[in-house]
Amino acid sequence: MIRLFIFFALSILVLSCSSNVTDPTPDSSKKGSLLVVFENKFGSEEFELLKRFTLNDSITVVTEDFKYYVSNIVLNNSNGSQYVLPKETSYFLINQAQIITQSINLQYIPEGDYSSISFILGIDSAKSVSPVGERIGVLDVAGEAKSMYWTWNSGYIFFALEGMYTTPRLINNSFKYHIGGFGGYNAPNLNNIKTITVPFGSSVLKIREGNKPHVHISADISTLFKGDEAISIEANPTVMFSPYSVNVANKYATMFQFGKIMD
């Protein structure tokens, strides 16, 4: 009985102490890091290249290539302030064929409690018209960006989705969505740059010195083909630098959703 009493007494003491432990106030002079993981999906299924997915009762697709640019990342603090990542370190190419590209590492972030993340899907106009020598890494038009750049149109492809589709009437027909357009260089033109904000809901991203939380964001490709203004793959199997590209951009801007935060 005495041992049981001591056990309960110690349990109450531990709970009391733990309830009094408070998270220290963030110190913005201290820096932390963050891993943002993009999880590409097709509806409720994990997205994979060369896997067959069903759009509806009569159409299936097999995707052979899927890439998109994420840039100009901003973390929105719960107190209303923002942390804008240094622009030169804020360009990423998410490539379904290279799993390593789907996790982006962000460093030197001020401590804080962040409620959402914002980013551009695409490449901003200033970088698009900057000297070629200043566009390196995933922006190198002779290297990593070679398949994501229109040499004939002098602009980056923000979003690339291509493969084959099958209907009851047509078997293994190709489709290609290469969407870009930064507003024009010498004259106004198509502008498909999309700024996307992903709220963390009731979760809080706590950036602290010495910790590296993971934020998971899902990108649901099936969003393009369902709901309001759904893209008809039969009516529009190929979309590039045309007025209809605006419709595709409006749809892919809605495909991102918050998944989870892992401390």
Range of the domain at 107: 23-262
Q: Is the dihedral of CA 38, 135, 121, 110 positive or negative?
A: positive
- Rounded CA separation 113/120 (Å): 22
Contacts of 228 (CB under 8 A, 6+ apart): none
Q: Report the phi/psi class of residue 221: left, alpha or beta, with left for phi > 0 and alpha for psi in -120 to 50.
A: alpha
Q: What is the pLDDT of residue 65?
A: 98
Q: What is the pLDDT of residue 2?
A: 53
Task: Determine, yes or no, domain membership for 134.
Answer: yes
Q: Half-sphere exposure of 124 toward its Cβ, with a 13 Å CA cutoff?
A: 13
For residue 9, what are its two tokens? 């007494």
Q: What is the pLDDT of residue 230?
A: 95
**What domain count does the chain have?**
1
Task: Determine, yes or no, domain membership for 43.
Answer: yes
> φ, ψ for residue 80 (rounded to 5)?
100, -10
Place of tokens 């489709």: 175
Task: Determine, yes or no, domain membership for 18.
Answer: no
Task: Determine, yes or no, domain membership for 38.
Answer: yes
User: For residue 220, what are the β-bridge partners?
Assistant: 41
Pairing between strand 91-95 and 155-166? unpaired
Contacts of 37 (CB under 8 A, 6+ apart): 102, 103, 214, 215, 216, 217, 259
Q: What is the pLDDT of residue 22?
A: 61
Q: What is the pLDDT of residue 35?
A: 98
CA angle 192–194–199, rounded 5-degree value:
165
Q: What is the pLDDT of residue 9?
A: 47
Task: Determine, yes or no, domain membership for 248.
Answer: yes
Q: What is the pLDDT of residue 184?
A: 80
Structure letter (DSSP) for residue 197: E
% of the chain surpassing 70 pLDDT:
91
Q: pTM for the full model?
A: 0.89
Task: Determine, yes or no, domain membership for 187.
Answer: yes
For residue 252, what are its two tokens? 């892919």
Task: Determine, yes or no, domain membership for 67.
Answer: yes
The list of the chain residues with pLDDT below 50 reads: 4-10, 12-20
- Rounded CA separation 94/65 (Å): 11
Task: Determine, yes or no, domain membership for 214.
Answer: yes
Q: Half-sphere exposure of 155 toward its Cβ, with a 13 Å CA cutoff?
A: 24
